[in-house]
Amino acid sequence: MKKIVIGILTLFVGTCLWADSLKIAISAGYKKPMLEVIKAYETTHPKVDAMYGNMAQIFAHAKQEEVALVIGDKKFLEAQKEVIFRSYQDIGLGRAVIIYAKGLHVDNALDIDKDSIQKMAIPEPKKAIYGDAAMEFLNNTKLYDKVKEKLIVVATVPQVATYVIAHEVDMGILNLTAALDAGDKIGGFVEIPFHLYTKIEITVGSLDACSKDKTCEDFLAFLSAPKAKEIFTKYGL
């Protein structure tokens, strides 16, 4: 398998200092919907500072800062040993898809071993849940050995989309949220059947800092409010 390590840490969002705002860390694959949710929240509430990255980056940062909430795959949150979560609040189910570049067309997820497919990007399996789902899909369908020389491993879900949009690769495996966000910049996408990878539950985990912050309680309540649910639904959650 070819491996390219791309990027060290994704950017911080907002201009406020971490010390004065509610601090949350979010899986990069859910950046776009969370940006909308945060924007909606901030119309009537204090500002939120958010950091986006793969889960390994997020946990490393959460150990050093007073992060109150982490949003990502529940399996990753429960399995890690870096920080202790006090509670979880589910947001929705993640759905793995294969996106393809403009000029291509794919009808079935099992068609990725075609000779016309030269390169395919996936997120780093040990750091991003959709990289994990990609490997489960490839192994469960016995396709891994057929496509392993075509695989390019990148750090985060957004980077998979960037590679496909730029025609650096023909296909990529990521989440439905990112595929919908890409819109007409890609040729399209096909969903990977649920039974071919472990269920992905997107959740928000609360850390100690949340219990000390009234704003954190308000933000958690907002994540269950109709406006936030409307945004999550729009992005395939």
The predicted model scores a pTM of 0.79
User: Which DSSP helix (H) or strand (E) runs through 135?
Assistant: helix 129-140
User: How many structural domains does the chain have?
Assistant: 2
Q: What is the pLDDT of residue 200?
A: 95
Going from the C-alpha of 138 to that of each of 82, 109, 135, 197, 229, the distances in angstroms are 29, 10, 5, 9, 32
d(C-alpha 185, C-alpha 182), whole Å: 6
**What would the DSSP string read from start to end of 74-99?**
HHHHHH--SS--SEEEEEEEE-EEEE
Residue 3 lies in a domain: no
The tens-digit pLDDT sequence of the chain (237 residues) is 654 443 433 333 333 334 468 999 998 889 999 999 999 999 999 999 999 988 888 888 787 778 999 999 998 899 888 889 999 999 999 999 999 999 999 999 999 999 889 999 999 998 889 999 999 999 999 999 999 999 999 988 999 999 999 999 999 999 999 999 999 999 999 999 999 999 999 999 999 999 888 999 999 999 999 999 999 999 999
Domain hosting residue 80, numbered range: 8-93+201-234
Query: Is 83 a member of any domain?
Result: yes
CATH at residue 208:
3.40.190.10
Q: Is the distance from CB of 158 to CB of 31 less than 8 angstroms?
A: yes
Host H or E run for residue 129: helix 129-140
Examine residue 62 and state whether it is found in any structural domain, yes or no: yes
Q: Give the burial class of 2: count Cβ atoms within 10 A of its Cβ; 0-12 exposed, 13-18 middle, 19 or more buried.
A: exposed
CA distance 58 to 72: 10
**Bridge pairing between strands 188-191 and 200-206:** unpaired
